[in-house]
Amino acid sequence: FLVPGITFELEGDANDYIGKGLCGGRLVIYHPHETSFVSHESIIAGNAALYGATAGSAFFAGIAAERFAVRNSGATAVVEGVGDHGCEYMTNGLVLVLGTVGENFAAG
């Protein structure tokens, strides 16, 4: 639950539910600069990232796993790809996926 005025910047991988309930803050996640990973080919965030987000923004330099931004109702996100079931049951908000999406995208 990241509130307005707070920016959380993570250099490294994020676990499941990163950004759950995001409610106005800013989330920035990217791989360490010295890594050999190519961001658009590797997972950066675990399952159910941004679940139930209501406001704020999130930027992922990499692919999010399954169920990205499910039940998003107002947050804005940019990600380089998502796994299965991304953006299900969204009622508002904006998600820009720069790469591939898995099965069942934006259902519900």
Distance CA 98, CA 17 (A): 21
Region class of 58: left (phi > 0), else alpha (psi between -120 and 50), else beta: beta
Confidence bin at 4 (pLDDT 50/70/90): very high
Mean pLDDT for 14-27 is: 97
pLDDT value of position 56: 98
Q: Which two tokens stand for residue 19?
A: 């950004």
Phi and psi dihedrals of 39, rounded to 5? Answer: -55, -40
Q: What is the pLDDT of residues 32-72, one digit of tens each?
A: 999 998 999 999 999 999 999 999 999 999 999 999 999 99
Nearest to 96 by CA among 66, 106, 104, 19: 106
**Do the strands 55-61 and 23-30 form a parallel or antiparallel pair, or are they unpaired?**
parallel
Phi and psi dihedrals of 35, rounded to 5? Answer: -75, 160
